[in-house]
Structure 1
Amino acid sequence: MIRVFIVDDSATVRKVVAEILNSAADIDVIGSAQNPIFADKRMALDWPDVIVLDVEMPQMDGITYLKKLMVEHPTPVVMCSTLTHDGSATSIKALGLGAVEVVGKPTVNLAAGLNDSARDLIEAVRAAALVNIKRVVSGVSASARLSSKKPSPARPAPPRGKATRTKASDTAGGRASSAIAGVASKADKLIVIGTSTGGTQALELVLSQLPVTTPGIAVVQHMPEGFTKPFAERLNSICEVEVREAGQGDALRPGLVLIAPGGRHLQIQRRGFQFYARIVDAPPVSRHRPSVDVLFRSVAKFASAKVLGVIMTGMGEDGASGMKEMHDHKAKTLAQNEASCVVFGMPAMAIKAGAVDDIVPLEGIAKCLADFA
């Protein structure tokens, strides 16, 4: 049984969230509080397995409490946020501070059955209960180091389509020529990545180490609609490569990372030697939208030694069957190892399916991507 405590200043939200979670046979809401100060006092008597935390509250906001919690009593946290731009951006910040999942505030009419937002909340709590909290805390430290770095003049997002040229030309003399040659040699290569719980911190670590000569990358990170754009913006602020939310028809190229938009599927189409993003409004696949399997299957049809598939930390089996299709069509594939995963679910299922060539610790994935040739 997963024991959950809810912290939200709205009595209505606390009631709705409790009703949703208590409708699941494996979840028990053991208490709630209107702010972190009261929550600490009540949880001290019976500490929960997972905390569902609001972002904006009086007396102490969710971000401040999250920082305190990860130092004093590390506990898996699911951030429950309104789908405003400010709320979404703050929730993304929370993921770098130790929250393991982020969901929009749900609505429910139990008589009519659970809607998608309610099911997302239940699955987020289940995923949070499985996390390796030591890996989460370790990721917080790494995220803090990345955030403290001052961006170089090349770091701000350039105009669309100009990132590779701008950043390569900012390199002095011979290094610029070398970078341009490196870009040209990798223009017909593609990397696809799938991840879920723990993936935001993992992607920060991996993508922030990549040079602009890295082949184009398409990423599915399980995340609700409204959260992927601020997530991409955060990544772009700490990476040398350009990172943005994928748009319909975006052309992939070296030095560009496209993040699948929340609530929609991302597929890759190939025309000649060029790869393009295709955004699809379609039902969830294995409960996920975007789905890693949808991305991986879209490249399996033209997969070859010039395509690399990567599956990282996350709960469940999304991506395993799609990666097997890629593997069977001669794509190179790798999975994050168990010791470095926050949740060793998706990589484990891909390994079990016989879809993985290499198993790599998180700290070694960036080199595999940068060296892909």
Structure 2
Amino acid sequence: MMQKKIRVLVIDDSHFVRTMLTEILTCDDIEVIDTANDPYEAREKIKELNPDVLTLDVEMPKMNGVTFLKNLMRLRPMPVVMVSTLTEEGAPTTLESLELGAVDYFAKPKQNLMENLPLYTDQLREKVRVASKANIVATSVKKHSVGKNIGKKDIQYRPNILVAIGASTGGTEALKEVISNLPADFPPVVITQHIPPVFSSSFAKRVDQCSQMRVFEAHDGMKIKQGCVYIAPGDQHLVLKKVNYDLFCQLLDTPPVNRHRPAVDVLFDSVAELKGRHAIGCILTGMGNDGAKGLLKMKEAGAITLVQDEKTSVVWGMPRVAYEMGAADKVLPLNKIADQIIHFSALPKKA
């Protein structure tokens, strides 16, 4: 029996890019059923052809991709991969599109598009395959719980506790939900999110704006302090380094692990080794298996381990592998994770 092909509509104002994306995406399991050069044409073709996945350019005339996406997710939620140029200036717009419900984004190379775009063939096809299976309900659910723990007072935290979180596809929004619900004086949090280099700084600033804790893109040698969150920069692994009694961020340019740099496993291995039972590990939504082995190491070292459940994950890949490996103490919906992290970080109240 032949596998049903993933039917894609490519939306881009450049004829050249439409042609290139069509050639790149067309393969055994993906079919580009049509293209559109602006959102108005796209709207008619979506009604007529009912595609499985859209690729959507961010910058277009008549109506930009983000405005179109906002309307689309309100009226007809469906899997969308945003196509943007990989620049720091464009990062906030791309992150906004994930906030609005896009499953993922593909960053076009800035120079020599004709030569460089085909180098990303496997990456783009994989993003479309993941998008076709993504949980669109999870991407489009509006967050109503942000800030529910901000007023929590008089919590005594376990000495030396640290929280480590890993995420990938769908993780930028899931992380915001978790971090924005942690109190200002909460123990330190270290994070690896799969993200390109020029996006990680914008992402850290975005999370910082909606959080009581202070959120930073990690820099080499940064001291790890209470009330602070440290996010691995794109293209560098984040690990912990102990000097006397203090912990510091250390960044590594060592090879990718599980095809990723930063990799969740690299961070979790470091946390397991240096923090052991004084840690909490958590894997949120994401494609693949990165973090599962590291979470198991954390659990074996005495840490408490959590994973996000299938229903609220955009892609239940990384959490599923960790769960099936026996690495998770608890499987939780996204809106319960911050509460549980606080619960496990706190000292028991005296009777």
* TM-score normalised according to structure 1 size: 0.84
The amino acid of 2:40's aligned partner reads I
Task: Work out the CA distance in 1 between the residues paired with 2:121 and 2:259.
Answer: 12
Residue 84 of structure 1 aligns to a residue in which SS? coil
Q: Does 1:289 align with 2:292?
A: no
Aligned mate of 2:22, from 1, 5, 18: 18
Q: Deviations over 1:276-325 (max 9, x none)?
A: 21112233222222211111112222242211110111111111111111
Aligned mate of 1:136, from 139, 142, 155: 139
Task: Work out the CA distance in 2 between the residues paired with 1:334 and 1:327.
Answer: 10
Task: Work out the CA distance in 2 between the residues paired with 1:360 and 1:212.
Answer: 23
Contact 1:108 1:118 in 2 (8 A): no
Residue 283 of structure 1 aligns to a residue in which SS? coil
Task: Work out the CA distance in 2 between the residues paired with 1:278 and 1:335.
Answer: 25
Q: Deviations over 1:232-280 (max 9, x none)?
A: 1111111101112111111221211111111222122223432221112
Aligned mate of 2:8, from 4, 20, 25: 4
Task: Work out the CA distance in 1 between the residues paired with 2:330 and 2:96.
Answer: 32
Match of 2:96 in 1: 93
Can you give the 5+ residue segments of structure 1 that lack an aligned partner in the other structure? 150-166
The amino acid of 1:81's aligned partner reads S
Task: Work out the CA distance in 1 between the residues paired with 2:323 and 2:189.
Answer: 22
Task: Work out the CA distance in 2 between the residues paired with 1:284 and 1:215.
Answer: 29
Q: Structure 1 residue 214: deviation in Å? A: 1.5
The amino acid of 1:62's aligned partner reads G
Q: Structure 1 residue 142: deviation in Å? A: 1.6
Q: Structure 1 residue 369: deviation in Å? A: 2.0
Q: Deviations over 1:6-50 (max 9, x none)?
A: 11111222222222222x432222221111111112222212111
Q: How does 1:11-90 map to 2 (within 5 A)?
A: 11-22=15-26, 24-90=27-93
Q: How does 1:184-195 map to 2 (within 5 A)?
A: 185=157, 188-195=160-167
Match of 2:191 in 1: 219
The amino acid of 1:328's aligned partner reads E
Q: How does 1:115-134 map to 2 (within 5 A)?
A: 115=119, 117-134=120-137
Residue 311 of structure 2 aligns to a residue in which SS? helix
Q: Does 1:362 align with 2:334?
A: yes
More displaced 10-residue stretch of structure 1: 309-318 or 40-49: 40-49
Match of 1:353 in 2: 325
CA gap of 1:121–1:275, structure 2 versus 1, over 3 A, is: farther
Task: Work out the CA distance in 2 between the residues paired with 1:108 and 1:134.
Answer: 36
Q: Structure 1 residue 93: deviation in Å? A: 1.0
Contact 2:182 2:213 in 1 (8 A): yes
Match of 1:270 in 2: 242
The amino acid of 2:143's aligned partner reads A
Q: Structure 1 residue 114: deviation in Å? A: 5.4
Identity percentage over the alignment?
41
Q: Structure 1 residue 109: deviation in Å? A: 4.8
How many residues are paired up? 335
Task: Work out the CA distance in 1 between the residues paired with 2:199 and 2:90.
Answer: 9
What is the RMSD computed on CA atoms of the aligned residues?
Answer: 2.3
Task: Work out the CA distance in 1 between the residues paired with 2:250 and 2:133.
Answer: 33
CA gap of 1:71–1:356, structure 2 versus 1, over 3 A, is: same
Q: Does 1:302 align with 2:302?
A: no
CA gap of 1:108–1:349, structure 2 versus 1, over 3 A, is: farther
Can you give the 5+ residue segments of structure 2 that lack an aligned partner in the other structure? 347-351
* TM-score normalised according to structure 2 size: 0.89
Residue 103 of structure 1 aligns to a residue in which SS? strand
Match of 1:249 in 2: 221
Task: Work out the CA distance in 2 between the residues paired with 1:186 and 1:213.
Answer: 13
